[in-house]
């Protein structure tokens, strides 16, 4: 790649696609050209970039010509359908779907954690799942000091994880309930406003849903710790944007709470948010639109001498998706 890059955003009209557009502008990414691609039904619409209007085109072999880098946020089936074309054309695909994350030939990257893995790419680089990224950001600095033995995590996932249409559906449902009407669910399987339910991804034969298995398998790959013991319970909650997670961490030896706070307070990409007198800790409203993962309520696990508890919040659309993808692109350029 040259110093300036010809970029295409595949899935430009979605929530993550919109954030990718904003981040490329705000971070002054060295663009030679920017193409916005989506499904045929979105072709012809316009989106703003840097004060100008760009027209969205339907993804085709022609629209992928003369591109150096594709940032994809259009879903696994779309990524699989176009990946070979993208790589054959000499471009690099940074994919936000789950299509390639567990492929041994595809690096799964969080730039603050495993940047060295990017050098093994063969034209495709995977962006991890949102909940995995947020958790990994909070845990990796501690894992570097003392290896983690076991994790138990419960997630509280906002509507944004299901896309822009799910966010709008929650608003509509809330209005319906407040007006005494029956809320309707079309994007998510059940009404989410004033409600919550276990994550709606398909259940596996193990009894865990696919979202929970993503957290388990992806964390092991990113940390290069295939035997790391992890259990996850993922839940949809009536929050528009930003995910939260309650994490229980077991180490081989006791890990002082004060030391954990000191480490996390000094970690790039992480912000310590704790006011114990006011009982004020990370909240989705505070994490919305913020690049850092907010970490707080770090405390000793009273049931285990080698355990810590923590609470985190992070913007699923930013660091959980679009920002991490752009950081991967920046890392790729830095590595040339």
Binding site members for NADP(+)? 13-16, 41-42, 160-161, 316
Q: Which parts of 98-242 are beta strand (E)?
A: 124-126, 148-157, 197-198, 229-236
Residue labelled with tokens 């209007």: 53
Helices of type H across the chain: 15-26, 76-88, 130-145, 164-178, 210-223, 257-265, 284-287, 323-335
Q: Tell me the binding residues for substrate.
A: 157, 210, 236
Which position among 121, 199, 243, 313 bears the catalytic label? 243
Whether 234 is catalytic: no
**Phi/psi of residue 77, nearest 5 degrees:** -65, -35
Residue 182 and residue 174: Cα distance in Å, rounded?
10
Q: Cα separation of 119 and 101, whole Å?
A: 16
Tokens of 238: 């009536």
Return the DSSP state at 321: I
Does 130 participate in catalysis according to the annotation?
yes
Q: Which residues are annotated as a binding site for phosphate?
A: 101
Query: Of these residues, 121, 130, 199, 209, which one is catalytic?
Result: 130
The residue with tokens 């707080």 is: 296
Tokens 């990946």 -> residue: 83
Instruction: Give the residue numbers marked as catalytic.
Output: 130, 243
């Amino acid at each position: 790649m040259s110093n300036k890059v010809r970029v295409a955003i595949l899935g430009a009209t979605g929530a993550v696609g919109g954030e990718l557009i904003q981040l490329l502008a705000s971070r002054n990414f060295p663009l030679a050209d920017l193409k916005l691609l989506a499904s045929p039904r979105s072709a012809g619409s316009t989106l703003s970039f840097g004060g100008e209007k760009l027209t969205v085109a339907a993804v085709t072999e022609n629209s992928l010509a003369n591109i150096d880098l594709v940032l994809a946020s259009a879903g696994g089936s779309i990524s699989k359908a176009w990946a070979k074309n993208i790589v054959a054309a000499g471009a690099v695909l940074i994919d936000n779907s789950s299509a390639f994350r567990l492929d041994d030939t595809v690096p799964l990257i969080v730039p603050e954690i495993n940047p060295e893995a990017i050098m093994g790419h063969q034209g495709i680089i995977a962006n991890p799942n949102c909940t995995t990224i947020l958790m990994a950001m909070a845990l990796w600095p501690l894992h570097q000091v003392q290896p983690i033995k076991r994790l138990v995590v419960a997630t509280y996932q906002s509507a944004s994880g299901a896309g822009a249409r799910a966010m709008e559906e929650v608003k509509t449902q809330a209005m319906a309930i407040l007006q005494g009407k029956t809320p309707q669910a079309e994007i998510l399987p059940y009404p989410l406003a004033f409600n919550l339910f276990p994550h709606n991804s398909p259940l596996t034969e193990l009894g865990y849903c696919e979202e929970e298995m993503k957290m388990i398998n992806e964390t092991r790959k990113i940390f290069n710790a295939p035997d790391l013991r992890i259990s996850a319970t993922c839940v949809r909650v009536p929050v528009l944007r930003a995910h939260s997670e309650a994490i229980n961490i077991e180490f081989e030896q006791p890990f002082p709470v004060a030391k954990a706070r000191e480490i996390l307070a000094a970690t790039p990409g992480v912000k310590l948010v704790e006011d114990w007198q006011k009982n004020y800790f990370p909240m989705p409203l505070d994490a919305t639109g913020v690049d850092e993962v907010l970490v707080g309520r770090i405390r000793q696990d009273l049931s285990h001498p080698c355990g810590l508890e923590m609470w985190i919040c992070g913007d699923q659309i930013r660091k959980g998706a679009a920002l991490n993808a752009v950081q991967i692109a920046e890392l790729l350029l830095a590595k040339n």
